Amino acid sequence: MAKDGVLPANDPYSMLISEFGKASLVSGSLLWIKHMKVCGIFLNEVTMNTILNVLKDAGEFDLADRFYKDWCVGKVDVHSLGVNDMNEFGAESQSKPISLMHFLSTELFKIGGKKSNSDAVVLPEMENVVRKPQLTSTYNSMIDLYGKAGRLTDAVEVFVALLKAGVAPDTSTFSTMIHICGSHGNLTEAEALLNKMEERGVSPDTITYTTLLSLYAKAGNVDATLQWYWKIRKAGLFPDKVTCMVVLNMLCEKQLIQKVETVLSEMEKCNLNVPEHSVPRIIRMYVSKGLFDQARIFFEKCHVQGGLSSKIYGAIMDAYAKKGLFAGLRTFELMERVGLKANEVVYGALINGFTEAGRTEEPLHYYRKVEERGGLPNAKTYNALVSLYAEAGNVDAALQWYWKIRNAGLFPDVVTYRVMLNMLGEKQLIQEVETVLMEMEKCHENCVPKIMNMYLSKGLLDQARIFFKKCPGLLSDAIRTNEQMERAGLKANEVVYGALINGFAEAGRAEEALHYYRNMKDQGIRANQIVLTSLLKACCKRGYFEGAKVIYESLKKFEGGPDIVAFNIMISFYASLGIISEAKVTFDNLRQKGQADGAICAAMMEAYSNMGMVNEAAEVAEEMRQSVLLTDHESYKGSEPDIVTYTYLVDCYGRANMVEGMKRIYGLMRFHKIEANESLYDAIMNAYRNVNRPDLAKLVSQEKRLRFGSNQYFQSDIESEQYSEY
């Protein structure tokens, strides 16, 4: 087009934007908007709707909403979409190779290669003109957008606006609205929309009916689901695969065999094959009811029709395995007979079937077949093998298979962890338990009492504390253990109380934590510093001033007094209550003892800042700068002390929301009052982002690239540009 001197119009741009969107190149799609603006082409409604769909499919709902509203008032702000301006793009192109997007925008149209200094070439008569969409497809896109974003009210408003604008809604409009209303639990309104649809002369299609019956199926309403299913045939339409799959899956879940067979008979009349994903469910339904002949007949019929994948064959065998049966071997034989190679899923189903039956030789046979084919079993198969040997008490074999899971880059599931820990706990293999715990992300709650008893029976209180600390979410087990001990006439020990108090405190349930703390004191058991600090944090979160003071005084009685965490909690708590004098007393005491580290200073700065006492906050900051804090910190080895101090100060300014302080340090570095340092630049960028100033973070990022000659974007630079206000 450019070669022939023909400038492109909206249609080719719309196609390009759509193709880039389909390829998940959202940024590329948006760059074409920039190109249109440079060419003086304002987006028509078709192009605008194309962009809406690209952003919607990418999950950028807020961005799509803003773009739509801007277009309606004649404004297309490419900067708000995260597209770099042309000046910035041009500056970068001199220092790095031309990007793919730049190549496309210059070579495909042979214009815009030289960067314009402004976007003034956009036709002025097209901007700032209020316009309303005239296409049904645009309204459909916005309704779908709001529906996916969970904004029911906005979706309804767009639907009403469509009707007021005199734009004719189509089948897709009503189907989308029905889905949105029903998904929010408004099934009555969804049916009312169907009636309104028919009143307007818009005929429902199979998708419309499927939408309604899917909503009722999800709600578990069998009668309503079948009612809408049969209405499809009454309307002279035919159910599609999605319709059949939804109905069959629901009926199989409810074990309604007669109704399933009625639907299957109707599908046969319509020359519809059973959806392959429904086949294993139907077989599982028959098998669970002991109807093995019906399961076999149904399977062989589906097998003759063809089209079943290895994954489905594996699921069928798994359906048999759930009952500890080996009829799945018949499925395996049929696969081999038709020349369909078994994959890891199929072999996994066979292995699972044998492990369910407690057989140990056959699983190994099929596992070796998987290895011979160069494959790897999935996590489910490995877990079945671990559980098989663990339940049999074969520690060596269980551990061997456990480590095979990890060496394969997979993770055991919760059930496997439970079985493993139960086995190791029963045999009191402490070292192995600790090894498994180190591998675990989260321990299953049923293991806790057994493992805790193992530690307590050996008098290993420290290990018990570590165990509970690694499993902070297992509060229910501590409660259950405490109840069991009470029923047995035993008193809870410090480990149980520690778990209860820590658990409730971490969950923010200060009342329960205090209850067990009082019980603990009544029994003459002294809480340790960790428990008291957790309790202090919970009380402060709930605003229990008196309770917090009592616990704080208890902490003072320990040798060395409260730790830095407790001091920090109290300073922040005093500040939140507006008792700045108490916070200052605590801070001054620490300062006199030389214990006011960076975290304490940051908490005090934040306290002053929240009270509007900026000068006092600045004094703390200056004191930090002069005292050269954290010079021995691991992260700053090799840096000059002043740079270390400034870096930490910037972090503190960011926590205290003191933008002016950050600007001051940036100014010192920019005007060579202090030596420029990449770590300090990064700290300033992070601090600006933390106080929601991506514009300033972007400026610092640009300055850093210019000063240090960086030819690539760092992740932090990209983030700041994505959220830039410019």
pLDDT digits (tens, 9 = 90+) for 423-462: 777 777 767 776 776 666 444 444 555 555 555 555 554 5
Give, for 106, the enclosing helix (H) or strand (E): helix 100-107
The predicted structure's pLDDT at residue 636: 35
* Model confidence at 224: pLDDT above 80: yes
Distance CA 604, CA 625 (A): 15
Residue for token pair 């709930």: 542
Q: Do 711 and 95 form a contact (C-beta atoms < 8 A)?
A: yes
The residues near 723 (Cβ < 8 Å, ≥ 6 apart) are 689, 694
DSSP state of 712: S
> Which range has highest mean pLDDT (74-78, 143-147, 412-416, 719-723)?
143-147
The phi, psi pair for 337, rounded to 5°, reads: -65, -35
Distance CA 536, CA 530 (A): 10
Range in 275-279, 564-568, 661-665 the model is least confident about? 564-568
DSSP state of 240: -
The phi, psi pair for 471, rounded to 5°, reads: -120, 65
The predicted structure's pLDDT at residue 714: 40
| Domains in the chain: boundaries | 10-126, 628-726
Output the CA angle 559-585-581, nearest 5 degrees: 145
Using the Cα atoms of residue 524, residue 525, residue 529 and residue 534 in order, give the sign of their dihedral: negative
Q: Do 572 and 591 form a contact (C-beta atoms < 8 A)?
A: no
The interaxial angle of helices 395-407 and 430-439, nearest 10 deg, is: 20
Q: What tokens does 635 get? A: 């992260």
- Percent residues over pLDDT 90 in the chain: 4
Q: Do 155 and 180 form a contact (C-beta atoms < 8 A)?
A: yes
* Model confidence at 476: pLDDT above 60: no
What does each C-alpha distance from 358 to 351, 386, 418, 655 come to in angstroms? 11, 12, 18, 58
DSSP string, 265-278: HHHHHTT-PPPGGG
Distance CA 565, CA 599 (A): 9
The predicted structure's pLDDT at residue 259: 92
Give the 3-state secondary structure of residue 307: coil
Q: Do 425 and 432 form a contact (C-beta atoms < 8 A)?
A: no
> Which range has highest mean pLDDT (147-151, 167-171, 614-618, 636-640)?
167-171
> Considering the chain, what is the average pLDDT of its residues?
72
* Model confidence at 251: pLDDT above 90: yes
* Model confidence at 390: pLDDT above 60: yes
Residue 519's pLDDT band, with cuts at 50, 70 and 90, is: confident
* Model confidence at 281: pLDDT above 80: yes
Total Cβ atoms within 10 A of residue 123? 10
* Model confidence at 260: pLDDT above 90: yes
Residue 720's pLDDT band, with cuts at 50, 70 and 90, is: very low
Look at residues 205, 213, 151 and name the one whose alpha carbon lies nearest to residue 174: 205
The predicted structure's pLDDT at residue 246: 92
pLDDT tens for 364-384 read 666 666 666 655 566 667 777
- Which has more confidence, 468 or 669? 669
The predicted structure's pLDDT at residue 486: 63
Distance CA 44, CA 25 (A): 21
* Model confidence at 180: pLDDT above 70: yes
What does each C-alpha distance from 224 to 215, 216, 218 come to in angstroms? 10, 6, 11
Range in 240-244, 295-299, 387-391 the model is least confident about? 387-391
* Model confidence at 130: pLDDT above 50: yes
Q: Which amino acid is at 440?
A: M
- What pTM value is reported for the model? 0.47
The predicted structure's pLDDT at residue 181: 86
Residue 116 burial class via C-beta count within 10 angstroms: exposed 0-12, middle 13-18, buried 19 and up: middle
